[in-house]
A and B are shown apart, each in its own frame.
Chain A
Amino acid sequence: MADLTRLTAAETAARIAAGEVSAVEVAQAHLDRITEVDAKVHAFLHVDTEGALNAAKAVDERRAKGDALGPLAGVPLALKDVFVTQGVPTTCGSKILEGWIPPYDATVTRRLKEAGVVILGKTNMDEFAMGSSTENSAYGPTGNPWDLTRIPGGSGGGSAAALAAFEAPLAIGTDTGGSIRQPGAVTGTVGVKPTYGSVSRYGLVAFSSSLDQGGPCARTVLDAALLHAAIAGHDPLDSTSIDAPVPDVVGAARNGDVRGMRIGVVKEFGGDGYQAGVLERFNESVELLRELGAEVVEISCPHFDYAMPAYYLIAPSEASSNLARFDAMRYGLRVGDNGDRSAEEVMSLTREAGFGPEVKRRIMLGTYALSSGYYDAYYGQAQKVRTLIARDFDAAFAQVDVLISPTTPTTAFPIGERADDPMAMYLADLCTIPSNLAGNAAMSLPCGLAPEDGLPVGLQIIAPTMADDRLYKVGAAVEAAFLDRWGAPLLDQAPAL
């Protein structure tokens, strides 16, 4: 039998449904793979062996009884450690939550369980999803399976690395400024940020509430669509959840086609600061789309240049408030309680000890931006920029069906290179941030390797709000054409671990 860890999620589910393999065998194969390679990759913060095998066993039992199984029943998945899981530790990559075992499940967690998905464990991430390299995890960095000395992207580096290292065929990430797409780009995997409000945030530990969005990570466009369909949809526990049917993403992924579509290249994303190999692969993708029958035009979104400054005001501001609850009173770390110190002192000592440098930096920045006297100049202005960016998108989508750009300006950089240079680190999300500010949908999928370093390059596809299906329609067409050209999936070129 073929190596179960190399199968796609769709293939795995089909084999389980057909009785060719049991869910327990599939789960065990992945747990074995994790045991084999994760000491090197460090994609997981917690592996839930018992929970995974029990979930797999339940799927096998349901199948034995003749129950109808869902399209992902028995498929293993790596869950970003920012979603709460009842009875399973959830740390958000932070020391302040070390050992915390949530008493409830996130809506995404619950839906995955209901779909018969087998949750293998919780993946590594930048602390509270703040970062683009997973170096900000309190539990040590994750390596990029293409080159373990390089970053796997962030904040969802663990989820992306788990896919690229064949530790799981599916993963869940969250994308606040690019934390699904940028890791997808630098690991040669597929990552989708759905339209804001289409995947419930209930139980997703908040970084920036108006930007955070959970989404699927996979090795193929179809797998991402299947996972997207499993987790998306209205949730009455999330006030910002869209109460409308989810677009048919699976149908779109099965029928990739760009013929007759108008596709816009974002003029502002390219040129100085972009790695030559990244631009080379991107231009190749543009040509490919033309060959496939799309009309490709250049579109200007003049305010995108202001997206990053706006993001680095809005996200830290919301974060400074969202992270205030980590105060040593009700759960998590408590430092310095010697019976004499006050609650206030213990709070300050705990937060000082429990948060890493990037989290502190953003809390301070957000506190500053919201302070009276500065609010209008910073937070208020940033919210106006948000309006301008949404208008740019509206104008663009009046002319084209989707926009495209490189996902990230460079390929994976070496671990440590930008660790204490926040401004350089922030550049990694230059192309992904506008969609978080406007709330629309976007995908990153592999478009080849940069010739100068042999590392994966991501192509970003951006669709209007609630037109997530367009991502899959275009993505599936591009994926099929590249597969044709390359003769095998890109990840087959990754070095063996």
Chain B
Amino acid sequence: MSYEDALSSFDPVMGLEVHVELGTATKMFCGCATEFGGEPNSQVCPTCLGLPGALPVVNRTAVESAIRIGLALNCNIAEWCRFARKNYFYPDMPKNFQTSQYDEPIAFDGYLDVEVQGKTYRVGIERAHMEEDTGKSTHVGGATGRIHGADYSLLDYNRCGIPLIEIVTKPIEGAGELAPEIAKAYVAELRDLIKALGVSEARMELGQMRCDANLSLRPHGQEKFGTRSETKNVNSLRSVERAIRFEIQRHATVLTDGGTIVQETRHFHEDDGTTTAGRVKEEAEDYRYFPEPDLVPVAPSRDWVEELRGTLPEVPSVRRKRLQAEWGISDFDMQSLVNAGAVDAIVDTVAAGADSDAARKWWLGELARSANERGVEVTALPITPAQVARVAALVKAGELNDKLARQVIEGVLAGEGDPDQVVEKRGLKVVSDEGALGAAIDQAIAAQADAVAKIQAGNLGPVGALIGAVMKTTRGQADAARVRELILEKLGVS
């Protein structure tokens, strides 16, 4: 069934659950490092390994991050809340329970505004709660290398116990055909907010932010929600949009054919954009939640909460609007900057003294191209906003032209040092010695009598040819505008 047909009969209702791995130095309940990429089982202790007798102690910074996320999402912060044990057996989880929060989340009842096609949608936030990540299993043998059909598994617990914040939306209703885009915009906005808070880098490709997408359909006019499916681990913005779109069409097809939707978890496949059903459980899970007796309640004082409120950054959407106005650019240009992930770099470059046009020009031009060639984010390039600002300053002062400035940037990226060092080493200064320029101009005038005659007759077209010749003689290190002035002056046409 086509997407349009699906929406002609049904209203989609979505629910998004996003897990964010906090960027704390240590784990949620123990002092082990959280650094990514360590040797297997090198960042573990009795607590996160679930050894008999070991006990958890809450990481204060993780609680502060949770409260700040809650405040940024316009939530109420609980005056008193607890951790609970969620009991189920799974080898990635050494205690065979996850320490999480159940009916007493630290933050609840908030919202996040997202913009889609120029319109603002308010996505309700049900709750944000604290929990811990699991370890990682590698499945060995079998034909597929995946979990099913493997011969055995290998477990690494370095990730086990890293603090997670789970953010759950209220049912998102009334999105209509924009549902997939709203879902994507919500996750994008949430990611920007998390980054702005400085609590996580929220890099979806590294699993620092993971999304589960619930979807149900109901016939137009019906109030009761339909049965939902839960698509797990949808781990890029594009996948969020595609997974919702696919599930809308799948549900509509089943329902239209008179079938029923089974409440189940589904897996999203990046390659073809489809979802498939997870393994059917023989029995309904029963997590037997109860208050974690090894931890005491968290009761944030109002003073503490207000102090944390004072540390909140400007909301990303508001900040974008402000910057767009300050820089005087169009919606389209702003969107390009956002898409390129260059907004912060430009802000920093402007702060380092460049004007915003120049900053945008370099980050979106030469640097974006370089980043693309290297396959990295533009902000990951080995050049600082201060260095870019210095290049812009040299151009503005007339000491570099654009062509030379590109070479300077190339030098900085190649590790040849600061812009001034590259200029020095590569000898890239604009030739501003009027004597040397004069000689080159005289040479060009002498060599191109025809062009000179035309110019003197009032046709300025051939000036370009003369400038080109001068630039060639000076190996590009002349200021073209100044050369033009000098030629016209010499020929008496200025």
Contacts and interface: CB of A to CB of B under 8 A. Distances in A.
A contacts B directly (C-beta below 8 A)? yes
Given A339-B151, A370-B87, A236 B95 contact: no
29 contacts: A83-B53, A100-B52, A102-B51, A102-B52, A102-B53, A104-B51, A104-B54, A202-B55, A203-B53, A208-B293, A236-B57, A237-B55, A239-B55, A239-B58, A240-B293, A317-B290, A321-B97, A324-B96, A324-B97, A325-B50, A325-B94, A327-B96, A330-B51, A331-B51, A343-B153, A344-B89, A375-B288, A375-B290, A379-B290
Interface string B58-93: 100000000000000000000000000101010100
B52 A325 contact: yes
Contacts of B89: 324, 327, 344, 347
Interface in A318-335: 318, 320-321, 324-327, 329-331
Interface in A299-346: 317-318, 320-321, 324-327, 329-331, 339, 343-344
- Of B49, B51, B94, B289, most buried by chain A (CB within 10 Å of CB) is B51
A201 B294 CA distance: 9
A260 interface: no
B293 A371 contact: no
Most B CB contacts (10 A, CB to CB) among A204, A206, A239, A370 go to A239
Nearest to B151: A339
A201 B152 CA distance: 35
Rank and list the top 7 A-B pairs by shortest CB-CB distance, nearest first: A324-B96, A370-B288, A209-B293, A210-B293, A203-B53, A205-B52, A84-B53
A271 B94 CA distance: 48
Contacts of B293: 208-210, 240, 318
Contacts of B295: 239-240
Nearest to B46: A104
Interface of B: 46, 49-58, 85, 87, 89, 91, 94-97, 151-153, 155, 286, 288-290, 293-296
Given A318-B293, A324-B97, A371-B286, A202 B54 contact: yes
A367 interface: yes
A202 B53 contact: yes
A90 B55 contact: no
B53 A206 contact: yes
A204 B51 CA distance: 11
A92 B55 contact: no
Nearest to B83: A239
A315 B87 CA distance: 16
A374 B96 CA distance: 21
Contacts, number: 104
A92 B53 CA distance: 11
Nearest to A236: B57
A468 B223 CA distance: 61
B371 to A, nearest CB: 43
A359 interface: no
A417 interface: no
Interface string A119-157: 000000000000000000000000000000000000000
Given A84-B53, A329-B91, A209 B294 contact: yes
Interface in A363-380: 367, 370-372, 375, 379
Interface in A90-118: 90, 92, 97, 100, 102-104, 106
Given A104-B51, A106-B53, A331-B51, A321 B294 contact: no
A392 B265 CA distance: 49
B43 to A, nearest CB: 15
Contacts of A372: 286, 288
Nearest to A92: B52
Interface of A: 83-84, 90, 92, 97, 100, 102-104, 106, 201-206, 208-210, 236-240, 317-318, 320-321, 324-327, 329-331, 339, 343-344, 347, 367, 370-372, 375, 379
A107 to B, nearest CB: 9
Nearest to B86: A321
A203 B87 contact: no
A321 B91 contact: no
Given A104-B46, A240-B296, A324-B97, A329 B53 contact: no
Contacts of B57: 236-239
B55 A370 contact: no
A204 to B, nearest CB: 6
A343 B91 contact: yes
B283 to A, nearest CB: 12
Contact of B290 (A83, A103, A104, A370): A370
B290 A325 contact: no
Nearest to B49: A330
A49 B295 CA distance: 37
B235 to A, nearest CB: 25
A376 to B, nearest CB: 12
A104 B47 CA distance: 11
Contacts of A97: 52
Contacts of B46: 103-104, 203
Contact of A321 (B55, B87, B153): B87
Nearest to A367: B288
A329 B155 contact: yes
B305 to A, nearest CB: 21
A204 B91 CA distance: 23
A331 B155 CA distance: 13
B53 A325 contact: no
Contacts of A210: 293
Contact of B54 (A203, A326, A347, A379): A203
B244 to A, nearest CB: 30
A90 B95 CA distance: 18
A332 to B, nearest CB: 9
Given A104-B46, A202-B53, A202-B55, 20 more contacts: A102-B52, A104-B51, A104-B54, A106-B53, A203-B46, A203-B53, A204-B53, A209-B293, A240-B295, A240-B296, A321-B97, A324-B89, A327-B91, A329-B91, A329-B155, A343-B91, A343-B153, A370-B290, A375-B288, A379-B290
Residue among B58, B87, B155, B288 having the largest count of chain A Cβ atoms under 10 Å: B288
Contacts of A330: 49-51, 94, 155
A90 B91 CA distance: 23
Contacts of B53: 83-84, 102, 106, 201-206
A327 B49 CA distance: 13
A330 B52 CA distance: 11
B60 to A, nearest CB: 12
B16 to A, nearest CB: 25
Contacts of A203: 46, 53-54
A321 B85 contact: yes
B333 to A, nearest CB: 52
Contacts of B58: 239
Contacts of B49: 330
A103 B46 CA distance: 8
Counting chain A CB atoms within 10 Å of each CB, which of B53, B153, B286, B295 scores highest? B53
Contacts of B50: 325, 330
Contacts of B51: 84, 102-104, 330-331
